Structures are given as structure tokens and as C-alpha cells.
Structure 1
């Protein structure tokens, strides 16, 4: 949708039960609906499983059949059950400095507008044709712009026998926000070629 805005949703849950403990949501517009849904589940001692199965009213012009809160629950369940692993953007500088194998799975034109200094650009659309460029045993870290495509890439790689793969949650957008602030207040050397906040 051309006039839609990106929703940032943080969901907090208990280990190992998956009981929902809290949430934060930020969007240009109204995030109240999502927080109300999660607040209701908290009051009812709801879990990630409950949130995953929740049927939420939608209309094709305004939302999708699976609401962002359903997707948040699915991601939480994948993490809870060890279906995939992730690292935060706060660890990316260390990964870059230590020469970790990082895949930027954004398309080439996105990559050229700005990236960090060491990634291999393998767009998600080319991933299956370029598996031979990815090491099997050492850790492999994947990011895109917002973590949606990198999540898909991690699952695709795991399905093809790559067992040491991590999603960088927050992805390049998160890296830019985190690094920009610290770069500005400390004057340290940048690890990105250009910040990208769009």
C-alpha cells in the first residue's frame, strides 16, 4: 500500500512458557490496536500460541489476514523453540571487526545506497543459485533492511543444511540507527559506507 507506514513492534514473553509479558509499538499513525490486543492477552495470561492463533478483523485495503501481532508471535515461537537464532544490532560492530561472514540479502540497488564494510551481497532473489558462496561450518550472519527477508533467508539456508546461521534482528535499518547515534557521540570510525534511514 503506497500510503502505509512501517510498524515497529517489540514483544516480550516468558521463557520457557511463552507467556506474554509486555509489548511496545511505534508507527506513524495509530499503534493502539496492537497494544490493546496484547494487553488483553496479558490480562488473560495468554501465550505466544494464543497470539499466533488469534483471529483479528481486517480489510484488504487496510491490513492483511495475518496481523503484525500474529507475525510477532510466530517469530517468538521460532525463537522459543530454537527454529532459528538471532543476534542484535549491538553485536554487528564486533562481527565486522572480527571478519565474520555476513550476508546482506537486500537487492543490489539497495546495497549500493549504503552497507556496512564487510558483507557479501547475496540478494534473497539469488540465494538459491549462490549457495556455493556460503560456508557450511563457520557461523553465517544474515541481514536485509528490516529483518523480514533475512528471516526468510535464514529459514531457506537451514532447509538446505546450513546449521550455523543467525538473523541480525533489526537488520540494516537497525544497524544505521544504532551506529549513527554512537558514531556521533563518540566520534569513532564508521562501519557503514552510508547511513540509510529511508
Structure 2
């Protein structure tokens, strides 16, 4: 509305004004969480028939030693060929909106997903982490765009569980015991080198941890050992539980986790 009012005022006074369109950046408070968005979402991209890919990460909003640190669920959508950023959504109780503001600014200058990793953003333990969530999205997105990292969304996990796909939970045993996918095999990152014989090379293998970072580490090592059918479950167990809990409640369906994380 402010931009439109500025254009109208300029027109009244004979000042040329060009409307370059709108990204639709917005933010709202939802109970204790902040929800923010910019640009296109997956539903709109699907309707437009556009080829796209995504990053879904769940980093902390600040350094873990700081009081009140909270996770941020951040998804960035980008063109599947050029990497141009098409939209982003984020939710969390922490510092969510500033990450969307950064991405909105990058989009205004036609940034590609790889550009996000090079942004120099203000850092102090009270306000962020050394690699900001926006930077992390750039690193992960670059790997996805180049084909170095293969991934599946949390929306596909139920089908994998029901098809009895080979899913590895790379979290530690105590984490696995506190909540797990029903048919996931627990092979912690700290033990997997001694359990390589338990991981098949002749079928697709899907890995998850709490948020996606440890499973990524294991995937890169497995790739170096000749495993080329390994996929990261983007968003990890936290992302799976957030999606599945909502769908389970709304559709009254049987859970695929023994306890939501």
C-alpha cells in the first residue's frame, strides 16, 4: 500500500514512476511463533507448472549457549535450472522475520540460491550464528542445484514408510528412543563406519537426523565410499513431526512415528 501510494503521489505531481511488481513480503504473529513469507510458495509454483527445487533447514536462531535460543524452520524455493530464488517461508519462536527480509532483498536484485552463502550478515551470539540460516540455505541449495545432494521432502516420508523403504536414523540411541519413525534403522553418525555392512548399496537409502545436518555429513562420507543411492530427508525428524502431526490431527490417520518430536 505504501509503494502504491508513493506511485500515485508521484503521478499526481508529474513524477515518472515504474511499477516493478511486488514480492508479497509479509509477517504475522501466531501465538508464540512468528510466520514470515516472501514470493512464491510451492502451491503457486505447482499451479504455474514451474520447475523448481527447495531447501528446508531447521537451524537455531542464535548460538546454542545463549538463553532463549529457538529453532527456525526455513524453506527457500528456487528455479530448478538457473537457481534464481523464487520464494521463501519461515516459522519459529525466534528471529524469523529478519531472515525473510534478507531473502526478500536478495530476490529484488535477482539473486540465485548460491548467492546466499556469500552474504555478509551481522553476527554476535545474541543475534545469530556464525553461518546465518540464510547462509546455510545458500550452501545447501548450491549442493542441491549441482546434484551433489539428493533429497526428499517430508511430504514423501509416509509413502516411504508404508513402502518399507530403507530409512536410517543417524541420531544417537537416546534420541532415537525418545521418538522415531516406525521402520527406521538406528545407525548413529558416531557408529556408522563400524556398521557399513548394514547399509545396502543396491537400493535407495534415506537418511534423517534431528534437523538434517548430521544426515548430510553421513551422506557425504557414504558418497565418498561409493554409495550413490543415498537421499537426505530434508527437515529431519523435526520437520517430519511438524508435518505429520498436523496431517494426523486433521485427517485422523495413524501416525508413522511412535512419538512426535
Tell me, yes or no, whether TM beats 0.5: yes
Distance 1:191 1:50, change over 3 A: closer
2:147 matched to which residue of 1?
82
2:48 matched to which residue of 1?
none
2:85 matched to which residue of 1?
20
Single out whichever of 36-45 and 175-184 deviates more from structure 2: 175-184
2:120 matched to which residue of 1?
55
Question: What does 1:133-148 align with in structure 2 at a 5 Å threshold?
Answer: 133-148=198-213
Question: 1:15: how far off?
Answer: 2.4
TM-score (norm 1): 0.92
Secondary structure at the aligned position of 2:89 is classed as strand
Distance 1:189 1:22, change over 3 A: closer
Any runs of at least 4 consecutive aligned residues in structure 1 with deviations exceeding 3 A, and if so which?
none
User: Is 1:150 equivalent to 2:187 in the alignment?
Assistant: no
Which of 113, 132, 136 is 1:67 aligned to? 132
Q: Within 1, Cα distance between the matches of 2:96 and 2:242?
A: 21
Q: Within 1, Cα distance between the matches of 2:115 and 2:150?
A: 22
Q: Within 2, Cα distance between the matches of 1:57 and 1:176?
A: 32
Q: Within 1, Cα distance between the matches of 2:251 and 2:91?
A: 27
- Deviations along 1:113-148, one digit per CA (max 9) or x if unpaired, are 111111110111112221111001100000111112
Q: CA RMSD for the aligned pairs?
A: 1.6
Distance 1:130 1:67, change over 3 A: same
Question: 1:187: how far off?
Answer: 3.0
Indicate the structure whose relative CO is greater, using CA pairs within 8 Å and at least 6 residues apart: 1
Task: Show structure 2 runs of 5+ residues with no match.
Answer: 1-64
User: Is 1:121 equivalent to 2:190 in the alignment?
Assistant: no
Task: Report the number of matched residues.
Answer: 196
User: Is 1:91 equivalent to 2:156 in the alignment?
Assistant: yes
Q: Within 2, Cα distance between the matches of 1:131 and 1:8?
A: 31
User: Is 1:108 equivalent to 2:173 in the alignment?
Assistant: yes
- Deviations along 1:72-109, one digit per CA (max 9) or x if unpaired, are 01111111110011111121121112111100011111
